[in-house]
Amino acid sequence: MWQEFRDFLMKGNLVEIAVGLLMAVAFKDVTDAFVNGIISPIVGSVLGAPSFADKTLKIGDGVLAYGAFIDAVISFVIVGFVLFLVVKAYNAAKARQSKGGEDAEVAEDVAVLREIRDLLQARNG
**Domain spans in the chain, listed from the N-terminal domain onward:** 2-124
* Each residue's pLDDT tens digit, 13-66: 777 788 888 888 888 888 778 877 887 778 777 877 666 778 888 998 998 988
Is residue 55 within 8 Å of residue 67, measured between CB atoms? yes
According to CATH, what is the number of the domain 2-124?
A: 1.10.1200.120
Distance between CA 113 and CA 47 in Å, rounded?
70
* Each residue's pLDDT tens digit, 5-14: 777 777 767 7
Distance between CA 47 and CA 50 in Å, rounded?
8
Hey, is 1 helix, strand or coil?
coil
Which one-letter amino acid corresponds to residue 64? L
Q: What is the pTM of this model?
A: 0.52
CA dihedral 100→103→104→109, nearest 10 degrees, is 160
